């Protein structure tokens, strides 16, 4: 697609207001039973990268629990795509900033699936602020609660339900490596996710549970016009070597690889999907 025009949305953003619409792989993704029989939990799965991952997982043969904040219409569309692929979709709305809700998400997966084979920690919060004095205290706290603290509570609850061969995949960001000043709290959480992922991979390795992360670059999702100024949205992604914004459908295959048995010796890895911006 061409680079997006200036636009804005109320937080947390909606897919049906995104111009042009994002591509989640609805018409392009073809599964090959790489995740046949697996049970997956995907947070932030109502839209954006989360929806693309849920769609790809389902077309690869996995049942998917769709964790999301409050965007019911978007979440129902993700569930429709999962069910259209012949897989079970479980919708669980709620705020992952609440540790009790994190535990409730995993409990629902236990009730619905009996186990968890893949946990994708993808939900995230960000806001753009030009100066540190402009960042409200509660906004700083929420960014950490949603982006990294929730990851801890979800992993802590999920690991007892995972067997050898299980996979945890965390969504990091190019912001971990090339932080933007206007995204100070968000970038800090993404750097923390990188450390958390590597350390947890060491901790869970003896149990045969793999832990990796994916680091997307500029990807076209509702979070962009819902959290960035219009002037930053216009041409978003044009500064990459590939010269354009990325689509959620272009990120999802990295998650499929890390969730699959093909990645049986990949743990502690960070997979960049950045349009050519290097993470070295």
Annotated catalytic residues are: 186
Query: Phi-psi category of 101—alpha, beta or left, where left has phi over 0 and alpha has psi -120 to 50?
Result: alpha
Look at strands 167-171 and 270-273 and give their pairing: unpaired
CA dihedral sign, ordered 88, 172, 216, 44: positive
- Give the bridge partners for 216, in sequence order: 273
Q: Across the chain, which distance is largest between two alpha carbons, in Å?
A: 50
How many helices and strands in the chain, by DSSP H and E? 9, 7
Q: Give 69's DSSP letter.
A: S
State the CB neighbour count (10 A cutoff) for residue 33.
Answer: 11
CA dihedral sign, ordered 91, 51, 3, 28: negative
Query: What is the 3-state composition of the chain as percent helix, strand, coil, each rounded to the nearest 5?
Result: 45, 15, 40
- Whether residue 82 contacts residue 133, with contact meaning beta carbons closer than 8 Å, is answered with no
Three-class SS of residue 43?
Answer: strand
Cis upstream peptide for 12 (omega within 30°): yes
CA dihedral sign, ordered 58, 60, 62, 66: negative
Using CB atoms within 10 Å of the CB of residue 206, give its burial: 0 to 12 exposed, 13 to 18 middle, 19+ buried: exposed
């Amino acid at each position: 697609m061409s680079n997006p025009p200036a636009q804005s949305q109320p937080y947390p953003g909606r897919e049906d207001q995104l111009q042009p619409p994002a591509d989640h792989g609805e018409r392009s993704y073809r599964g090959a039973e790489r995740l046949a029989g697996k049970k997956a939990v995907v947070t932030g799965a109502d839209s954006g990268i989360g929806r693309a991952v849920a769609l790809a997982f389902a077309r690869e043969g996995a049942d998917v629990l769709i964790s999301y904040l409050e965007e019911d219409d978007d979440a129902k569309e993700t569930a429709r795509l999962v069910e259209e692929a012949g897989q079970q979709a479980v919708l669980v709305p709620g705020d992952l900033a609440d540790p009790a809700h994190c535990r409730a998400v995993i409990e629902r997966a236990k009730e619905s699936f009996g186990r968890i084979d893949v946990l994708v920690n993808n939900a995230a919060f960000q806001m753009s602020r030009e100066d540190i004095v402009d960042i409200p205290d509660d906004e700083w706290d929420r960014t950490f609660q949603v982006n990294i603290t929730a990851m801890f509570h979800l992993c802590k609850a999920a690991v007892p339900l995972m067997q050898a061969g299980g996979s945890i995949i965390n969504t990091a960001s190019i912001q971990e490596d090339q932080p933007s000043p206007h995204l100070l709290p968000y970038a800090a959480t993404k750097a923390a996710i990188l450390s958390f992922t590597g350390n947890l991979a060491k901790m869970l390795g003896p149990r045969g549970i793999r832990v990796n992360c994916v680091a997307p670059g500029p990807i076209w999702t509702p979070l962009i016009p819902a959290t960035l100024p219009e002037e930053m949205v216009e041409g978003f992604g044009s500064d990459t070597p590939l010269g354009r914004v990325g689509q959620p459908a272009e990120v999802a295959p990295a998650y499929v690889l890390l969730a699959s048995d093909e990645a049986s010796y990949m743990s502690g890895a960070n997979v960049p999907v950045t349009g050519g911006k290097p993470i070295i």
